[in-house]
Amino acid sequence: MIIKQSKQLEYVVGFDAFFTLKPEFQTSISFINMFFLDAFAYLKRGGDLIFMQKIENILKYGMGFENVRVTIDNFNNLVYISEVYYDREKQTTDEIEKMLDEQDEIELCKIEFLNHVVLTKENFTHIILSWGKLLDTMSPFVLLYLDDKDWYDLLPFDSQEAMQKFLADHTKPEVIIQK
């Protein structure tokens, strides 16, 4: 397995959440992390049955949160997690303005107007359920990653060093071309 993108996370007891060790915004994987920070407390409220019903509702209708919006492409069985607010200084066209007025987030993502990440519905469900299990076990460290098969997943670690070694062992080194 080769890791294409990742976020290293640490469990913070007082917040009952995982936070990034390096809080910079990197790539599309950041939207998954933002989704969990925005939405997971809401999803878990009410017990396991309610948790599953909320996941099913999101997979049917999508849902907006403080910093991210989840939009569902039922035709292609895809989940888009996108930014809620876009750069108002970003240049638009009449077509983009129409999509903004109609709140057509899927098309806005497809044309790369909105920053986003795309997952299959199956992958989205898997990662939510995995996140819940990792929170329940209070794993000290978690690696959120995208593998070479375009599957997002989570791995628990007992130490930051073990997580970093795993990441180093499963990431392709950058090749520097000498001129």
Report angle CA 15, 19, 23 to the nearest 5 degrees.
135
- For 126, the token pair is 């898997």
Distance CA 156, CA 154 (A): 7
Average pLDDT value for residue range 108-116: 90
Query: Residue 175: which pLDDT band, with cuts at 50, 70 and 90?
Result: very low
Asked if pLDDT for residue 118 goes beyond 50, the answer is yes
pLDDT of residue 3: 94
Q: What pTM value is reported for the model?
A: 0.88
pLDDT of residue 7: 93
- Sequence-distant (≥ 6) Cβ neighbours of residue 64 within 8 angstroms: 70, 84
pLDDT digits (tens, 9 = 90+) for 40-75: 888 888 888 888 999 999 999 999 999 999 999 999
Does the CA dihedral 136-137-142-143 come out positive or negative? negative
